[in-house]
Amino acid sequence: MKAIAQALPKSIQMTLTSNECSLHAKPVPLMMIDGKELCPACQIAKENQSFEQSFQKEILDRAAKKKKNTLYMRSVFADETIREASFGKFFAESSEESKNKDLAVQSFKHYKSGKTFTTLLQGDTGVGKSHLAMSILRNLNEKLDVECVFVSVREMMAKIRDSFDNKESKFTQLYFVEMLSRVDYLCLDDLGAETGAITTNKTATNFTLEVLTAILEARQSKSTIITSNLSRNQMELMYDKKLISRCLKNIAVIKFTDTRDKRISVFDLSQEV
C-alpha cells in the first residue's frame, strides 16, 4: 500500500478510508484523493494506460511523418523546380493542356479511390509532364496515409554509377531498388532520357535494364506514374517487350501532341536593369 501511495503525484491530498477495492488479487483500501474516494491502484493503472496510449500515438505520428517526408527527402529531381509543382501552379495555355490537367486530376482521384494502374504521360520536352506527375504525387501524399517518391531515371542511374567508385555514397543499386519497390506510389520521370539521344532503334544497356526490371517487376501490384518522350512501342524496343507489356498492361495515357515547350521563354534585354 505504501508503494502505491508513493507512486501517486505528491501534490494531491490523500487519506485512507474504511472501504476497499475488490478488483485486485488482494483488496486495496480506498483513499480520499482530492476529495474523491478512489482506489489508488486503479488510478495508477489508468495513468499507466494513458501514458502507453500517448507513447503509442507518438510512435504512430512519427511513422506517418516519416512516410510523408519520403516525397521531399528521398526524391531525385533533374529539375528542382518540380519539387514545388502542384495542380494550382499548372497554368493551361491551350485546350490540350487543359484537357491533360483534367485527366491528371482524374488519375489522382482514381488512385485515391484505391484503384491500381499505371499513368503514362507522353510528349516532348518541357510540355508539363513532370509537373503533372508531381502534382498527382503531392495530392496523394497529402490526402492519404501512403509513401510516395519521384525519381528522375537519368539522375538515378548517374547516382548508381557514381556509387561504384564512391564507397561513401548511399545511392547504390540496392538503395534505389529497395526504395522504389517499397513505396506505395512512384513516378519514374523521363524514362528513356538515361540512354542519351532517343531514337526508335536505340536500346538500353544491360545494366539499366537490370535496374528497371527489378523495380518494375516488384511493382506489378502497385501504381506507378511514368513520364517519357517515348511511345509505348518505343519503350518495348528500347527495354524489354515482355517486361514493358506486363507492367503497362493496365495503363492510362495522357498525351501531349501540340503543346509547346513551356520552359522556352524570351528574355527582354531592353527592360530596365
Among 73, 96, 126, identify where a domain stops.
73
Residue 62 lies in a domain: yes
pLDDT at 113: 97
Residue 2 lies in a domain: no
pLDDT, one tens digit per residue, over 165-182 is 998 999 999 999 999 999
The whole-model pTM stands at 0.73
In terms of domains, do 220 and 243 share one? Answer: yes
pLDDT, one tens digit per residue, over 43-97 is 888 888 876 776 676 655 565 556 889 999 999 999 999 999 999 999 998 999 9
Residue 22 lies in a domain: no
Residue 63 lies in a domain: yes
Contact of 245 with 236, CB cutoff 8 Å: yes
In terms of domains, do 139 and 61 share one? Answer: no
Among 24, 55, 73, identify where a domain stops.
73
In terms of domains, do 133 and 96 share one? Answer: yes
| Helix/strand/coil (H/E/C) assignment for every residue in 208-222 | HHHHHHHHHHHCCCC
In terms of domains, do 119 and 65 share one? Answer: no
In terms of domains, do 226 and 108 share one? Answer: yes
pLDDT at 196: 62
Residue 159 C-alpha cell reads as 547516382
Domain count, the chain: 2
Residue 189 lies in a domain: yes
E strands present in 4-158: 14-21, 28-33, 36-38, 118-122, 148-152
pLDDT at 201: 57
For every one of its 273 residues, what pLDDT tens digit does the chain have, with 9 covering 90 and above?
A: 555 455 555 545 556 677 888 888 788 888 887 778 888 888 888 888 876 776 676 655 565 556 889 999 999 999 999 999 999 999 998 999 999 999 999 999 999 999 999 999 999 988 999 999 999 999 999 999 999 999 999 999 999 999 999 989 999 999 999 999 999 999 999 998 877 644 445 677 889 999 999 999 999 999 999 999 988 888 888 888 888 887 788 999 999 998 877 666 667 788 887
In terms of domains, do 66 and 196 share one? Answer: no
Spatial distance between the Cα atoms of 99 and 227, rounded to a whole number of angstroms: 17
User: Who contacts 38 (Cβ-Cβ below 8 Å, separation ≥6)?
Assistant: 30, 31, 32
Residue 4 lies in a domain: no
Among 50, 73, 96, identify where a domain stops.
73
In terms of domains, do 64 and 94 share one? Answer: no
**CATH code of residue 113:** 3.40.50.300
In terms of domains, do 90 and 60 share one? Answer: no
In terms of domains, do 145 and 56 share one? Answer: no
Instruction: Give the domain range for residue 233.
Output: 75-256
In terms of domains, do 229 and 138 share one? Answer: yes
Residue 141 lies in a domain: yes
In terms of domains, do 53 and 89 share one? Answer: no
pLDDT at 22: 81
In terms of domains, do 89 and 131 share one? Answer: yes
Residue 25 lies in a domain: no
What is the layout of strands, in order, in the sheet containing 223-228?
148-152, 185-191, 223-228, 118-122, 251-255
Q: How many C-beta atoms lie closer than 10 Å to residue 248's C-beta? A: 18
Q: Which amino acid belongs to residue 99? A: K
